Structure 1
Amino acid sequence: MLTKKQLQLLEFIHKRLQRDGVPPSFDEMKVELDLRSKSGIHRLITALEERGFIRRLPHRARAIEIIRLPESLGGVLEPQAFAPTVIDGGRPQPAAAAADPVRHAAVELPVMGRIAAGVPIEAISQVSHQVVVPGGMIAPNGQHFALEVKGDSMIEAGINDGDIVVIRETGAADNGDIVVALVEGHEATLKRYQRQGSMIALEAANPAYETRRYPEDQVQIQGQLVGLIRTY
């Protein structure tokens, strides 16, 4: 039997994995459960792992996989066979789209160089190569491109150095979205977006990096994370 806090945390992780394809950061868990420190989250994570509800994946910073759910959250999940990881982000697709074979055909996207998951680097504008991604990642009416991640500032969001991120082109973002942001007209970075009045905060998912804040006219959103591809 799970405690109320354990169940609340498991449900939060499950919902974020369904929505974004990656688990929430420890900071997000702390805020969701209204705890004062990350140590409480560590204890809850350990308890869930000991009870066989989750598994922490090796060699991936704080990456979490749900193994099973209590009946109140839908019951047992079937384990997946090992395969190169392809993580779908964004909102769940409607059932009609899932049944469309064209929708799930593989798609080639241009890899527009590297994007900094650390301090900003020079803006990306040159195609370096092509990458094949599942059609299910791609919105039917959107424009998409891919970037290779450089740096470790987003590791608590499950985004590692060397990963390929799939980006849907957009000039708008909601709080909490992971975006490609062009800073001061010439530097691009991959961060979590938060609007704070007339300022834009670009948040890392690694406590080693500080949140950077800019006047809104110095930040241009170029795209939103919708998927991630990792090879081993």
Structure 2
Amino acid sequence: MLTRKQLELLELIDSRMKRDGVPPSFDEMKDALSLRSKSGIHRLITALEERGFIRRLAHRARAIEVVKMPETADSRHVPRVIEGGVRDAAQAPAGAMPVRQVDAVELAVMGRIAAGTPIEAISEISHHVAVPGSMLSGKGDHYALEVRGDSMIEAGINDGDIVVIREQSTAENGDIVVALVEGQEATLKRFRRMRGMIALEAANPAYETRMLRDDQVEVQGRLVGLIRSY
């Protein structure tokens, strides 16, 4: 079963492949489907690939192959398409909230961050992730990290989650931050100043609070959002 937008994109890619031999660019797809960001195109392409309608070819730019089209040969094989809206208020479930279009922003995932024993700092982009624009805090730069470990589980941060970080070099007591320890180990912990030292607190009683001198800790960002992995 395809949504209306998925079907529109599949038909666009198929027609352009037959006409030009190459699929349209992401910008062309976005404009043709009247979407506000390319992240929506990413999601549609992923959905079409998961359903077996297209195949993305590795290590080639704009390399998309149409594997199949929905059967439309006669009236008995009309594509099953999910309409994008509710026809009237009477059809809406009780208590349903109106659906709003939300702007999404693509952030670079800068590797993994330890929520446990600190790991070597990673600064290379591993992939990108789309996050709601409303999740971003202020006008500063943001990036994302994949969590490894369970030291922050009582703060609702689990192994495998993606944390959204706002770049900043300062923190208030109680902030959850990305801390670079002695220039080489990155960890995700709650930040506090205590008795002239910096405490990096876990949110799991199995882990001890680390007490460090001010010159041993460099704050690299503050947690502003979380994407749960199931």
Which TM-score tier does this pair reach, normalised by the shorter chain? 0.5 to 0.7
1:129 aligns with 2:127: yes
Contact 2:137 2:224 in 1 (8 A): no
Task: For 1:140 and 1:133, locate their aligned partners in 2 and report how far apart those are by CA, in whole Å.
Answer: 15
So what's the TM-score if we normalise by structure 2?
Answer: 0.56
Gaps of 5+ in 2: 1-94
Please state whether the residue corresponding to 2:134 is helix, strand or coil.
Answer: helix
Q: 1:205 aligns with which of 196, 203, 206?
A: 203
Task: For 1:186 and 1:212, locate their aligned partners in 2 and report how far apart those are by CA, in whole Å.
Answer: 16
Aligned equivalent of 1:74: none
Task: For 2:160 and 2:219, locate their aligned partners in 1 and report how far apart those are by CA, in whole Å.
Answer: 22
Please state whether the residue corresponding to 1:191 is helix, strand or coil.
Answer: strand
So what's the TM-score if we normalise by structure 1?
Answer: 0.55
Aligned equivalent of 1:216: 214
Aligned equivalent of 1:112: 110
Contact 2:198 2:212 in 1 (8 A): yes
Please state whether the residue corresponding to 1:142 is helix, strand or coil.
Answer: coil
Could you list the per-position Cα deviations for residues 104-159 of structure 1 after superposition, in whole angstroms to 9, with x for gaps in the alignment?
51000000000000011001211000000000011341100000000000000000
Gaps of 5+ in 1: 1-78, 82-98
Return the index of the structure with the highest Cα Rg.
2
Q: 2:145 aligns with which of 128, 144, 147?
A: 147
Task: For 2:148 and 2:120, locate their aligned partners in 1 and report how far apart those are by CA, in whole Å.
Answer: 12
Could you list the per-position Cα deviations for residues 165-216 of structure 1 after superposition, in whole angstroms to 9, with x for gaps in the alignment?
0000000000000000000010000000010132100000000000001000
Contact 2:112 2:147 in 1 (8 A): yes
- Structure-2 change in CA distance of 1:164 and 1:80 (3 Å): farther
Q: Alpha carbon RMSD of aligned pairs, Å?
A: 2.2
Task: For 2:96 and 2:118, locate their aligned partners in 1 and report how far apart those are by CA, in whole Å.
Answer: 36
Matched AA of 2:111: G
- Structure-2 change in CA distance of 1:157 and 1:126 (3 Å): same
Task: For 1:197 and 1:131, locate their aligned partners in 2 and report how far apart those are by CA, in whole Å.
Answer: 39
Matched AA of 2:149: G
Map residues 43-82 of structure 1 onto 2, 5 A cutoff: none
1:80 deviates by: 9.4
Bigger RCO of structures 1 and 2 (CA < 8 A, at least 6 apart):
1
- Structure-2 change in CA distance of 1:80 and 1:201 (3 Å): farther
- Structure-2 change in CA distance of 1:180 and 1:133 (3 Å): same
Aligned equivalent of 1:178: 176
The percentage of counterpart residues that share the same residue type is 71
4+ residue segments displaced more than 4 Å: none
Please state whether the residue corresponding to 2:147 is helix, strand or coil.
Answer: strand
Task: For 1:140 and 1:118, locate their aligned partners in 2 and report how far apart those are by CA, in whole Å.
Answer: 28
Could you list the per-position Cα deviations for residues 21-70 of structure 1 after superposition, in whole angstroms to 9, with x for gaps in the alignment?
xxxxxxxxxxxxxxxxxxxxxxxxxxxxxxxxxxxxxxxxxxxxxxxxxx
Aligned equivalent of 2:229: 231
Aligned equivalent of 1:193: 191
Map residues 28-47 of structure 1 onto 2, 5 A cutoff: none
Alignment: residue pair count: 135
Aligned equivalent of 1:164: 162
Please state whether the residue corresponding to 1:217 is helix, strand or coil.
Answer: helix
- Structure-2 change in CA distance of 1:143 and 1:80 (3 Å): farther
- Structure-2 change in CA distance of 1:177 and 1:80 (3 Å): farther
